Amino acid sequence: MRLLMVEDDLRIATPLRAVLGRHGIDVRHACTGEEALDALGVDVDVVLLDLNLPDHDGFEVCARIRRISDVPVIMVTARADVRSRVHGLNIGADDYVTKPYDIGELLARIHAVSRRARPEPRPEAAPAAPAAPASDAAPAAPTASALVVDAAARRVTVRGTEVVLTRKEFDLLALLAQRPGVVFRREQIMSEVWRTSWAGSGRTLEVHVASLRAKLGNPRMVETIRGVGYRVVPDA
Protein backbone atom coordinates (compact mmCIF):
# COMPACT_ATOMS: atom_id res chain seq x y z
CA MET A 1 0.00 0.00 0.00
CA ARG A 2 1.20 3.51 -0.84
CA LEU A 3 0.31 6.26 1.62
CA LEU A 4 0.83 10.00 1.36
CA MET A 5 1.37 11.50 4.83
CA VAL A 6 0.81 15.26 4.96
CA GLU A 7 2.34 16.40 8.25
CA ASP A 8 4.63 19.38 8.90
CA ASP A 9 5.77 18.31 12.39
CA LEU A 10 8.79 16.06 11.92
CA ARG A 11 8.53 14.92 15.56
CA ILE A 12 5.31 13.21 14.54
CA ALA A 13 6.08 12.38 10.92
CA THR A 14 9.43 10.62 11.37
CA PRO A 15 8.43 7.98 13.95
CA LEU A 16 5.02 7.48 12.33
CA ARG A 17 6.62 6.86 8.96
CA ALA A 18 8.88 4.24 10.54
CA VAL A 19 5.95 2.49 12.27
CA LEU A 20 3.84 2.43 9.12
CA GLY A 21 6.81 1.11 7.17
CA ARG A 22 7.13 -1.82 9.57
CA HIS A 23 3.52 -2.68 8.75
CA GLY A 24 4.24 -2.88 5.05
CA ILE A 25 3.03 0.61 4.10
CA ASP A 26 5.13 2.61 1.64
CA VAL A 27 4.97 6.18 2.97
CA ARG A 28 5.61 9.34 0.98
CA HIS A 29 5.90 12.44 3.16
CA ALA A 30 4.74 15.98 2.37
CA CYS A 31 5.18 18.91 4.77
CA THR A 32 2.83 21.38 3.08
CA GLY A 33 -0.45 21.39 1.23
CA GLU A 34 1.24 22.30 -2.05
CA GLU A 35 3.68 19.41 -1.69
CA ALA A 36 0.75 17.09 -1.06
CA LEU A 37 -1.09 18.24 -4.18
CA ASP A 38 2.06 17.82 -6.27
CA ALA A 39 2.57 14.31 -4.86
CA LEU A 40 -0.82 13.18 -6.16
CA GLY A 41 0.79 12.95 -9.57
CA VAL A 42 2.10 9.52 -8.55
CA ASP A 43 0.04 6.52 -7.48
CA VAL A 44 -1.29 6.91 -3.93
CA ASP A 45 -3.75 4.58 -2.21
CA VAL A 46 -4.53 6.67 0.90
CA VAL A 47 -3.85 10.24 2.05
CA LEU A 48 -3.29 10.92 5.76
CA LEU A 49 -3.95 14.66 6.00
CA ASP A 50 -3.13 16.84 8.99
CA LEU A 51 -5.36 19.92 9.26
CA ASN A 52 -2.76 22.33 10.63
CA LEU A 53 -0.37 22.98 7.76
CA PRO A 54 1.99 25.94 7.30
CA ASP A 55 0.68 27.07 3.91
CA HIS A 56 -2.98 26.01 3.71
CA ASP A 57 -5.75 24.91 6.02
CA GLY A 58 -6.24 21.15 5.79
CA PHE A 59 -9.90 21.60 4.85
CA GLU A 60 -8.87 23.62 1.81
CA VAL A 61 -6.30 20.99 0.83
CA CYS A 62 -8.91 18.23 1.13
CA ALA A 63 -11.33 20.16 -1.07
CA ARG A 64 -8.62 20.67 -3.71
CA ILE A 65 -7.69 16.97 -3.59
CA ARG A 66 -11.33 16.08 -4.21
CA ARG A 67 -11.41 18.23 -7.34
CA ILE A 68 -8.64 16.18 -8.94
CA SER A 69 -8.74 12.74 -7.31
CA ASP A 70 -11.01 10.24 -5.53
CA VAL A 71 -8.17 8.84 -3.42
CA PRO A 72 -9.37 8.06 0.15
CA VAL A 73 -8.51 10.84 2.60
CA ILE A 74 -8.21 10.41 6.37
CA MET A 75 -8.09 13.71 8.23
CA VAL A 76 -5.90 13.92 11.31
CA THR A 77 -7.02 16.63 13.73
CA ALA A 78 -6.90 17.73 17.32
CA ARG A 79 -10.30 19.36 16.78
CA ALA A 80 -12.70 17.06 18.57
CA ASP A 81 -15.91 19.01 17.91
CA VAL A 82 -18.54 17.37 15.71
CA ARG A 83 -18.93 20.49 13.54
CA SER A 84 -15.33 20.27 12.32
CA ARG A 85 -15.69 16.56 11.61
CA VAL A 86 -18.94 17.04 9.71
CA HIS A 87 -17.35 19.84 7.68
CA GLY A 88 -14.44 17.57 6.79
CA LEU A 89 -16.77 14.79 5.63
CA ASN A 90 -18.86 17.26 3.66
CA ILE A 91 -15.90 18.43 1.62
CA GLY A 92 -14.82 14.90 0.79
CA ALA A 93 -12.86 13.26 3.61
CA ASP A 94 -13.53 9.54 4.03
CA ASP A 95 -12.64 9.33 7.70
CA TYR A 96 -10.91 11.20 10.51
CA VAL A 97 -8.64 10.44 13.44
CA THR A 98 -8.42 12.68 16.48
CA LYS A 99 -5.05 13.40 18.06
CA PRO A 100 -3.65 11.84 20.15
CA TYR A 101 -4.51 8.58 18.40
CA ASP A 102 -3.70 4.95 19.02
CA ILE A 103 -1.48 3.50 16.29
CA GLY A 104 -3.63 0.36 16.15
CA GLU A 105 -6.71 2.48 15.48
CA LEU A 106 -4.89 4.46 12.82
CA LEU A 107 -3.75 1.30 11.03
CA ALA A 108 -7.28 -0.11 11.17
CA ARG A 109 -8.71 3.03 9.61
CA ILE A 110 -6.05 3.15 6.90
CA HIS A 111 -6.77 -0.42 5.85
CA ALA A 112 -10.53 0.14 6.10
CA VAL A 113 -10.63 3.13 3.71
CA SER A 114 -8.22 1.34 1.39
CA ARG A 115 -10.53 -1.70 1.18
CA ARG A 116 -13.58 0.47 0.58
CA ALA A 117 -11.87 2.28 -2.27
CA ARG A 118 -11.19 -0.91 -4.22
CA PRO A 119 -13.79 -1.47 -6.92
CA GLU A 120 -15.84 -4.60 -6.43
CA PRO A 121 -16.31 -7.00 -9.36
CA ARG A 122 -19.65 -6.53 -10.97
CA PRO A 123 -21.75 -9.39 -12.29
CA GLU A 124 -22.18 -9.51 -16.02
CA ALA A 125 -25.24 -7.64 -17.09
CA ALA A 126 -28.06 -9.68 -18.56
CA PRO A 127 -29.06 -8.79 -22.11
CA ALA A 128 -31.62 -6.04 -22.09
CA ALA A 129 -35.14 -7.04 -22.95
CA PRO A 130 -36.51 -5.44 -26.11
CA ALA A 131 -38.44 -2.30 -25.37
CA ALA A 132 -42.18 -2.47 -25.64
CA PRO A 133 -43.86 -0.38 -28.33
CA ALA A 134 -44.54 3.13 -27.15
CA SER A 135 -48.28 2.67 -27.44
CA ASP A 136 -48.20 -0.32 -25.08
CA ALA A 137 -45.80 1.11 -22.53
CA ALA A 138 -47.32 1.82 -19.15
CA PRO A 139 -46.76 5.36 -17.87
CA ALA A 140 -44.25 5.67 -15.06
CA ALA A 141 -45.98 5.64 -11.71
CA PRO A 142 -45.54 8.90 -9.86
CA THR A 143 -43.92 8.65 -6.47
CA ALA A 144 -45.30 10.38 -3.42
CA SER A 145 -42.11 9.84 -1.45
CA ALA A 146 -40.21 12.95 -0.41
CA LEU A 147 -36.96 10.99 -0.57
CA VAL A 148 -35.92 9.11 -3.72
CA VAL A 149 -32.70 7.07 -3.85
CA ASP A 150 -31.59 5.90 -7.30
CA ALA A 151 -29.01 3.22 -6.50
CA ALA A 152 -28.04 2.62 -10.14
CA ALA A 153 -27.33 6.29 -10.85
CA ARG A 154 -26.11 6.97 -7.29
CA ARG A 155 -28.49 9.91 -7.19
CA VAL A 156 -30.63 11.21 -4.33
CA THR A 157 -33.48 13.70 -4.54
CA VAL A 158 -35.66 15.23 -1.84
CA ARG A 159 -38.96 16.51 -3.21
CA GLY A 160 -37.45 16.71 -6.66
CA THR A 161 -34.27 18.54 -5.64
CA GLU A 162 -31.00 16.65 -6.05
CA VAL A 163 -28.87 16.24 -2.94
CA VAL A 164 -25.11 15.86 -3.40
CA LEU A 165 -23.63 13.26 -1.05
CA THR A 166 -20.18 11.86 -0.45
CA ARG A 167 -19.51 8.23 -1.35
CA LYS A 168 -20.00 6.93 2.19
CA GLU A 169 -23.05 9.11 2.84
CA PHE A 170 -24.71 7.66 -0.26
CA ASP A 171 -23.79 4.09 0.67
CA LEU A 172 -25.25 4.60 4.15
CA LEU A 173 -28.48 6.12 2.87
CA ALA A 174 -28.87 3.53 0.10
CA LEU A 175 -28.59 0.72 2.65
CA LEU A 176 -31.22 2.21 4.94
CA ALA A 177 -33.50 3.07 2.00
CA GLN A 178 -33.57 -0.55 0.84
CA ARG A 179 -36.18 -1.18 3.56
CA PRO A 180 -37.85 2.09 4.56
CA GLY A 181 -39.09 2.08 8.13
CA VAL A 182 -37.04 -0.99 9.08
CA VAL A 183 -34.41 -0.49 11.78
CA PHE A 184 -30.85 -1.40 10.79
CA ARG A 185 -28.61 -2.27 13.72
CA ARG A 186 -25.40 -0.28 14.08
CA GLU A 187 -23.35 -3.48 13.76
CA GLN A 188 -25.06 -4.35 10.47
CA ILE A 189 -24.48 -0.86 9.07
CA MET A 190 -20.80 -0.92 10.00
CA SER A 191 -20.43 -4.36 8.44
CA GLU A 192 -22.19 -3.56 5.16
CA VAL A 193 -21.12 0.05 4.59
CA TRP A 194 -17.72 0.18 6.29
CA ARG A 195 -16.95 -3.55 6.08
CA THR A 196 -15.72 -3.68 9.63
CA SER A 197 -17.01 -5.01 12.92
CA TRP A 198 -14.63 -2.83 14.91
CA ALA A 199 -16.62 -1.16 17.71
CA GLY A 200 -14.35 1.90 17.69
CA SER A 201 -15.77 2.94 14.33
CA GLY A 202 -19.13 3.86 15.87
CA ARG A 203 -18.23 7.55 16.07
CA THR A 204 -17.62 7.55 12.33
CA LEU A 205 -21.18 6.34 11.79
CA GLU A 206 -22.61 9.05 14.04
CA VAL A 207 -20.76 11.80 12.20
CA HIS A 208 -21.90 10.49 8.80
CA VAL A 209 -25.51 10.36 10.02
CA ALA A 210 -25.27 13.95 11.27
CA SER A 211 -23.87 15.09 7.92
CA LEU A 212 -26.50 13.14 6.01
CA ARG A 213 -29.33 14.69 8.01
CA ALA A 214 -27.99 18.18 7.38
CA LYS A 215 -27.83 17.61 3.63
CA LEU A 216 -31.30 16.04 3.41
CA GLY A 217 -32.67 19.12 5.14
CA ASN A 218 -34.90 17.09 7.47
CA PRO A 219 -33.30 15.25 10.41
CA ARG A 220 -36.41 13.10 10.82
CA MET A 221 -35.73 11.29 7.53
CA VAL A 222 -32.94 9.35 9.25
CA GLU A 223 -34.29 8.35 12.64
CA THR A 224 -32.20 7.14 15.56
CA ILE A 225 -33.57 4.17 17.44
CA ARG A 226 -31.74 4.56 20.73
CA GLY A 227 -29.58 1.62 21.65
CA VAL A 228 -30.32 -0.17 18.39
CA GLY A 229 -29.52 1.70 15.19
CA TYR A 230 -31.15 3.80 12.45
CA ARG A 231 -33.98 3.72 9.96
CA VAL A 232 -35.13 5.82 7.03
CA VAL A 233 -38.52 7.53 7.09
CA PRO A 234 -38.86 8.73 3.46
CA ASP A 235 -41.97 10.86 3.95
CA ALA A 236 -41.02 12.47 7.26
Q: What is the pLDDT of residues 129-161, one digit of tens each?
A: 444 444 343 333 334 458 999 988 899 999 889
What's the length of the chain? Answer: 236
pLDDT at 121 over 80: no
Residue 128, pLDDT score: 43
| Residue 201 DSSP one-character state | G
Give the Cα separation of 152 and 138 in Å (integer): 21
Q: Determine contact, residues 218/158, Cβ cutoff 8 Å.
A: yes
Q: What is the pLDDT of residues 29-87, one digit of tens each?
A: 999 999 999 888 678 899 999 988 998 888 999 988 888 888 899 998 887 778 888 88
Give the Cα separation of 206 and 9 in Å (integer): 30
- Residue 176 dihedral angles phi and psi, to the nearest 5°: -65, -35
- Residue 197 dihedral angles phi and psi, to the nearest 5°: -110, 10
Q: How many CB atoms lie within 10 A of CB 71?
A: 19
Q: Which of 46, 51, 45, 39 is nearest to 9 (CA)?
A: 51
Q: What is the pLDDT of residues 72-103, one digit of tens each?
A: 999 988 877 788 888 888 888 888 888 888 88
Residue 176, pLDDT score: 92
Contacts of 106 (CB under 8 A, 6+ apart): 97
Residue 22, pLDDT score: 92
Give the Cα separation of 221 and 236 in Å (integer): 5
Residue 145, pLDDT score: 59
Q: Which of 90, 85, 39, 32 is nearest to 61 (CA)?
A: 32
Q: Determine contact, residues 114/45, Cβ cutoff 8 Å.
A: yes
Q: Determine contact, residues 226/186, Cβ cutoff 8 Å.
A: no
pTM over 0.85? The answer is no
Q: What is the pLDDT of residues 181-223, one digit of tens each?
A: 888 988 888 888 877 766 555 678 888 898 898 899 888 899 9
Residue 5, pLDDT score: 95
Q: Which of 36, 30, 96 is nearest to 65 (CA)?
A: 36
